[in-house]
Amino acid sequence: MSVSKNLTRRAHVILPIDVVAGIDKLVGKRGRSAFLTELAQREIKLRHQREVLRETAGAWKSEDHPELAQGADTWIRQMRSLDNSRLRNWTARDGK
């Protein structure tokens, strides 16, 4: 993995010696930036997802979705059954 120099900014980051040694052991000295970039991007994504989940908590109301009262798996099986039924009717109509 490489970090594009065109779209980067140098940042002075202080890390404990054992953390740097652990990173170097995994990816080598030349892989530090890419490794830390990947970890930071992953953490940013996770924190954003958590924020969105907190903001939207309670948005789903069971009463708005009575079709799922028996469980999502039951509803999915029913939808698939309808699709299979439609397909059989369609192919029978076309004589296939």
Mean pLDDT over residues 6-27, rounded? 95
Model confidence at 93: pLDDT above 80:
no
At 92, list the tokens: 């029978």
CB count, 10 Å around CB of 36?
A: 16
Q: What single letter denotes the amino acid at residue 53?
A: L
Cα–Cα dist 65/45, whole Å: 29
Model confidence at 28: pLDDT above 90:
yes
Cα–Cα dist 27/38, whole Å: 12
CB count, 10 Å around CB of 70?
A: 11
Quick one: pLDDT at residue 7? 85
Which pTM does this prediction carry?
Answer: 0.59
Cβ contact 75:67 at 8 Å = yes
At 48, list the tokens: 């954003």
